[in-house]
Amino acid sequence: MYLEEDFFDSWEELASKTNWKDDKVLMLSLFAKRSPDEALRAFNSLVWDGHQRFVVFAARLGRYLKEYNRSLPEGQRMSAESMGRQIFDRCVAVAPEGAQQELRKQQDHSIRAICSIVDDYSPGTATKDGRMISRPPVTAESQPLAAEISKALQSVLAPMMENLAGITQRLDSQQRFGKGNGGKGRGRGGCGNCGGAHSALACPNKAFDSGCFKCGQTGHLARNCPSRSKPPSPGN
């Protein structure tokens, strides 16, 4: 047993710590028992923030409910089973969603069993009603599904990566070819119509807007146009 919060502060400030009998009388006089409605309010208002250890939250629920039960008249007190059920229902109400489903299947309503299940779920973002949204734990059953998903993704992405690598290689080859010709070749961005440092589509000297930019006919590009006065330079 240990003291905390107001109990600890009062012990530190007021108790002599030498005469234990007097200190006991002092402590009992300082902290009068709560009325039944006050004790029940403490039980109902207790919340779990998702970061505190769940066993601490559950233990406090039990302490507050026992305090409430002791404050009732002898003939109106709840049975241990009834108290355990109330604590269990409060724990289910604030547990992560995934843990709630598992808890409702349990026959064992002890705090140890409750905490064992809740601790398997990682807390996430709190909802408006105080419940926690969490990811279910990785189990042996979930691993084959993850492997299948990974395999499917690889089969889709592998061809795309190969195509991208091929495009990059061709572009690098064209750039090196253009530099090897002293910049005379078309290379990347060279115009097949006039040889300028722009694309053929943006060439200001093109005679036609469709087909061959030199003669307007289809079936060939401007760099291979039969009407060119001289053979096209390499790379055009």
Residues 114 and 190 reside in one and the same domain: no
Residues 6+ apart with CB under 8 A from 216: 207, 208, 210
Which pLDDT belongs to residue 79?
Answer: 93
Residue 122 sits at φ, ψ, to 5 deg, of -80, 125
Establish if 215 belongs to a structural domain. Answer: yes
Do residues 191 and 200 touch, judged by C-beta distance below 8 A? yes
Domain region containing 204: 185-231
Do residues 95 and 131 touch, judged by C-beta distance below 8 A? yes
Establish if 162 belongs to a structural domain. Answer: no
Average pLDDT, the chain: 74
Q: Which residue is associated with the tokens 């404050």?
A: 71
* pLDDT per residue as tens digits for the range 89-140: 998 888 888 888 888 888 888 888 888 888 887 555 444 344 444 444 545 5
Q: Which helix (H) or strand (E) holds 103?
A: helix 97-104
Q: Pull the structure tokens for residue 16.
A: 């002599």
Residues 37 and 113 reside in one and the same domain: yes
* pLDDT per residue as tens digits for the range 154-181: 777 777 776 777 677 666 666 665 555 5
Residue 78's pLDDT band (cuts 50, 70, 90): very high
Q: 214 or 66: whose pLDDT is higher?
A: 66
- How many CB atoms neighbour CB 206 within 10 A? 18
Domain boundary, last residue among 99, 118, 137: 118
Split into its structural domains, the chain has a count of: 2
Which pLDDT belongs to residue 187?
Answer: 43
Establish if 60 belongs to a structural domain. Answer: yes
Half-sphere exposure of 76 (CA within 13 A, CB side): 7
User: Can you say how many angstroms the Cα of residue 63 is from the centroid of all Cα atoms in its chain?
Assistant: 34
Distances (CA, A) of 140 to 120, 123, 145: 14, 21, 10
Domain boundary, last residue among 71, 92, 118: 118
Establish if 124 belongs to a structural domain. Answer: no
* pLDDT per residue as tens digits for the range 7-16: 666 667 667 7
- The mean per-residue pLDDT over the stretch 57-81 comes to 89
Sequence-separated contacts (24+) of 192-196 with Cβ below 8 Å: 192/221, 192/222, 192/223, 192/232, 192/236, 193/222, 193/223, 195/233, 195/236
* pLDDT per residue as tens digits for the range 51-62: 878 888 888 888
Minimum mean pLDDT among 41-45, 72-76, 186-190, 195-199: which range? 186-190
Establish if 193 belongs to a structural domain. Answer: yes
Do residues 11 and 3 touch, judged by C-beta distance below 8 A? yes
